[in-house]
Structure 1
């Protein structure tokens, strides 16, 4: 079909109700749209079939993961141009304005004429299969975590680098290396928790063990790290052995709800609470409170979304839920603080490090792109595309203040309300 790009441009312009923000190239080699813009490439008609059968974000996500569409040029610029109308950078968008019924039918007819009839294309194999069980039950959470984390430690090594830290780094200088920024983040957490030799530290959602290793080596603590990812635990245990810290660090495959050997002097939860979910968050907060001794500190490091006018209308982002973090949920930081306070904690400090996560994500994307062929070999082309899209879009979301990330420092006060906190903010270990 000659000049498919021009017809595509007309359809997309109708959907977006404005000028086409990207250049379009169709499967027949034709192009349309602004010459200076990144190019959205439709490699085949199957991309349109996906949009016909699943209009909106899920159809686009399936086309991207399957390789039916791609972007040539700067991916960040492409996402930024689309953001006002299509993409919210990893965060669920407000309800989009519905098109009038007649216009919707005309656009659907245009797409059908361009694509041709077809049966529904099968979803890419990387899509999460139908889930069973109660949302955020122990069994279902284990399945969700496995989907995201048990994809091969070698793949994560390519993306995360030697630090093996999968959470927002802390950049003392924008010119610092990713490894320097991650070391600074680990040390910041240890200082906020006022760790000292002989203390017991619990790290909930310990990943590959970087924080417990840092705390044991540099602060002399006895640390327990828990994860429900088998592959994370395997590598974390190997790292503990290699560091000669088996007498001070224990790695467990254990759900936070089943930890019974408190009290601990300090508890850290870094990038884990996003998996807890609103239905289980009070259980999470209550459990961490029980596991702390009086006077013990909690450092809760968590991504936050913006509050919505109608919280009952909050919907999980389909791309993220189907391909990245199944059952993951983001909450406003105010809700997190309220839940911790309701469990009995006194919240003593809150630090927003939103810009730091944008820098971290851009560094991870650079690592992935620099090792693209190896990443595809280790996982699959589809999963590599998932990671590139979600990390690049999330970097923009943090930069544009669509989502944030906060470190909340809280304490379980002791007798008479004693907090053990210093009088001056920032002198954490005093």
Structure 2
């Protein structure tokens, strides 16, 4: 590098050479980030940002945690990479720690590079185990952008990518925009389960390998399932001989105020997919937690899948250190407590104050504000207005995660009461300004 590092230089370098995901390339204006610590990021000019996006909802322990950085550095000095067929200390320790947070019926971990290929391999396992082909998943879901994961995804990004076979979608519960004309959570749950039963019957009760669900759908809107729903899905899977796969890629490891999101619900799946929060994305990693019956099957059946970087030592060292730090520092409890006592009540108060907010919903540090231009009709606030709102938050030093007409409020699980209060103040100021212009 022969130029001084500046915002301008890094921005120009990016725009000349980097191809971005989920984007039309010609009109991008990426934010330049130089460094970070905890819940704070900064650029080369010293401008600071409070990160309430956790980037892509993955930096659960915040940025640059010193113990995790040290663990990665120590592993790099010992063994920086090794083939997955070998036995490696960090891989074994990571799997042991992960399984300590899983239901008792889980016994092994298959490591992947990210959440998408975790879901890919979980679907592969289910098809091999059951001898069936079809996978059911929800319209309101996101499971990754690789071949089968993007087709399992329900949101419209799957449409240009529908090359995989055997995928069927159904509507999961979402009372605010109920597909079932439900009047309360109990009715929404009952009708959603009846709808799923009919989809199973119509698709062939002996044809479906698995139901794949995000325990708490994230990108689709932080849709906390109503009481009894996941238990009902489990019951349907058992009745028809299907596996239940829970995707905890975004919701797992502290995000919902528990170690796994499923801990909030009375449900035990057959396979659990994870990534993101397991090591806060410090080194890419994901995986599938596998229950004992599925493990037993593959004791004498060949598993036709693998990745060169499965259980990469640097990623495994980051997992071990992250899970140890989360336990030592009470980070999961912090997520639950801050969500219950401060963030949740603060967001609900904003929803009560501004008709522009149709609903505030969430659990732990996993919240969404859904914006509407018409409170009675629930008309989604248009995308250009949401983009302007995101820019207004950023101008005040707050980084947010916005999807469609929703603001997802997802700070690192280490967030402090003072930082939550600061963010709520910015939300109040900006939403107040936009409400004066756009609410009906």
Same fold? TM cut 0.5: no
Say which one has the larger Rg.
1
Structure with larger RCO (C-alpha < 8 A, sep 6+): 2
TM-score w.r.t. length of structure 2: 0.30
TM-score w.r.t. length of structure 1: 0.31
